Amino acid sequence: MTKALISIVDDDESIRRTTTFLIESFGFRAAAFESAEDLLKSVRLHETSCLIVDVQMPGMSGLQLQSRLAAEGIGVPIIFVTAYDNKTLRHQAKQAGAVAFLGKPFNDEELLEGIRLALRGKLEATRDLIAVVDDDESIRRTTTLLIESFGFRAIAFESAESFLQSGQQHNTSCLILDVRLPQMNGLQLQRELAAAGCSIPIVFITAYDDKESRGRAMKAGAVAFLGKPFSDEQLLQILRAALGHNKGGSTSM
């Protein structure tokens, strides 16, 4: 995975240099700019995961840069730094959505905490979403907790219909689907998604395994067909394969 790029905008060359070294020591990539105008002209802006911006700079100030980015719909988290801290500037920056407002000199821990805070939402949003569709409430609850313990996001539905109505199929990275459901069953949902051109990897789970259902599910492209109860290790291995575009092939267990 590519390391997050943190961009520094400060007219003080020594601040740019020391902050760049510090960011790289945290394990991130860093890019430095001596003015807001330079950042706006750079292609690196669109790679940037977090901005560290001086409040007072020649030309466009930090607050003006914040307003410009917001107007252009560029939602990069911003950490402001300044040697001239005051309540009015701090309030304006925070009200406009700044993640943090640090007075110079700031220490390593303050900056790292600010960056973590800035990246938290971005990392959360990019974690894979695993949807669970099962009419058994206890299965939904335990499977959701298990998925979250693997580091993924999880969302659960009690029926195929509720999953389709939610619109979450467009955000779902993998679907864990019970075969037998009231009304629309798992195999019917698989066909419905395929007909709609929605190619979500599907892991079928069932307490009533039979060769016919297994064969139909796998022939239609299911990633795996698991009998309940399944182990944590089985599910994690299959999710990894599914999220890796199923390079390991389909699994029947």
Q: In the prediction, which pLDDT does 176 show?
A: 97
- Which helix (H) or strand (E) element contains residue 18? helix 13-25
Residue 4 in this model has a pLDDT that exceeds 90: no
State percent of the chain over pLDDT 70. Answer: 93
**pLDDT (mean) for 180-189:** 95
Structure tokens at 121: 């939402």
Q: In the prediction, which pLDDT does 151 show?
A: 75
Q: In the prediction, which pLDDT does 248 show?
A: 40
Q: Phi, psi (5° rounding) for residue 166?
A: -70, -25
Closest to 215 measured CA to CA, from 187, 240, 236? 187
Q: Among all chains, which residue has been given the structure tokens 């890019």? A: 31
Q: How many CB atoms are closer than 10 A to CB 218?
A: 16
d(CA 19, CA 22): 5
Contacts of 14 (CB under 8 A, 6+ apart): none
Q: Cis omega (within 30 of 0) on the bond before 58? A: no
Degrees (nearest 5) of the Cα angle 152, 100, 14? Answer: 110
Residue 126 in this model has a pLDDT that exceeds 80: no
Q: In the prediction, which pLDDT does 116 show?
A: 86
Helix (DSSP H) and strand (DSSP E) numbers for the chain: 10, 11
- Binning pLDDT at 50, 70 and 90, where does residue 124 land? low
Higher pLDDT, 61 or 252: 61
- Binning pLDDT at 50, 70 and 90, where does residue 233 land? confident
d(CA 162, CA 164): 5
State percent of the chain over pLDDT 90. Answer: 56
Q: In the prediction, which pLDDT does 139 show?
A: 93
d(CA 128, CA 174): 8
Residue 77 in this model has a pLDDT that exceeds 90: yes
Residue 28 in this model has a pLDDT that exceeds 80: yes
- Give strand pairing partners of 252: 225
Residue 132 in this model has a pLDDT that exceeds 90: yes
Higher pLDDT, 176 or 114: 176
In the chain, what is the greatest distance between 2 CA atoms, to the nearest angstrom? 72
Contacts of 116 (CB under 8 A, 6+ apart): none
Residue 191 in this model has a pLDDT that exceeds 90: yes
Degrees (nearest 5) of the Cα angle 111, 116, 118? Answer: 95
